[in-house]
Amino acid sequence: MHTAATPEPASPIPAPNIRARSEAEAGALYARIKSAITDGRFVPGARLPTERALSAQYRVARNTVRKTMIRLVSEGWIVREIGRGTFVARRRQQAPAREAEFSLPELLEARLLFEPALVELVIDRATEQDWDAFDAALDAMRAADTWVAFKEAKYALHFAIARASQNRFVVRLFELIIASRRAAGWGRPGGHPAPLSLVRETACRDNAAIIAALRARDVPRARALMHDHLVHTLSSVSGA
């Protein structure tokens, strides 16, 4: 049986809100285990540590580990065998597609149509829990050390913004966007030309400015910053 080294423990993600912290930790744990599988540290057939061991190693709740394992199973990365344990899938089995996959430019164009316009709703309706979720996602972005962890955290921030609008249709739209990007493995046309550290620094600066404008209840500035961030991202993807 193959064995593999366990990836380095994740640094705790500071967040004042329990729910926001749990979501950020689950996203980070998922990204780290998935990265360990895709880069070969967990080889096909390797037994993964128990939920108890993962909980202790990463300093997260057992429930967080369990939800992460369920997600990895549903996506075909791991298999669970009763009485034996959890193993890296020898050949990833793709789950039947339930959501349509769209190109990254298509999704960014759609986001440009509605995301800047959410600013007024967010400023008017955001709760303390929402502000905590913004902070937790920004912290996770700054701490991300893989592309998957970075993308999970970045989309978690914008999903938190959509959720703060308290518009269920908008929230559903963003769920579809995230499902499509996850199905694509968070990839982009031609890969990314810049190193993670540079992209992360720029994205953290831009998104921190958006959150600061929302806190200041500055609707025109928040809307303009959101628009410019999405335009810049779309331009970089389209090669414009």
pLDDT band (50, 70, 90) for residue 135 = very high
Domains 18-88 and 104-238 share a fold: no
pLDDT band (50, 70, 90) for residue 6 = low
What CATH code would you report for 104-238?
1.20.120.530
Overall fold of domain 18-88: Arc Repressor Mutant, subunit A (1.10.10)
Q: Determine the pLDDT at residue 131.
A: 93
> Does 153 score more than 50 pLDDT?
yes
> Does 22 score more than 80 pLDDT?
no
Q: Determine the pLDDT at residue 5.
A: 54
Phi, psi of 57 (to 5 degrees): -65, -45
Q: Determine the pLDDT at residue 19.
A: 66
Mean pLDDT of 195-223: 94
pLDDT band (50, 70, 90) for residue 173 = very high
CA–CA gap between residue 173 and residue 38 (Å, rounded): 29
Mean pLDDT of 174-182: 88
Segments making up each domain of the chain, as ranges: 18-88, 104-238
Mean pLDDT of 196-221: 95
- pTM of the model as a whole: 0.62
Q: Which two tokens stand for residue 66?
A: 């369990």
Mean pLDDT of 86-91: 85
Q: Determine the pLDDT at residue 3.
A: 52
pLDDT band (50, 70, 90) for residue 240 = very low
**Residue 10 C-beta-side C-alpha neighbours within 13 Å:** 30
Burial group, residue 208, by CB count within 10 angstroms (0-12, 13-18, 19+): middle
> Does 2 score more than 80 pLDDT?
no
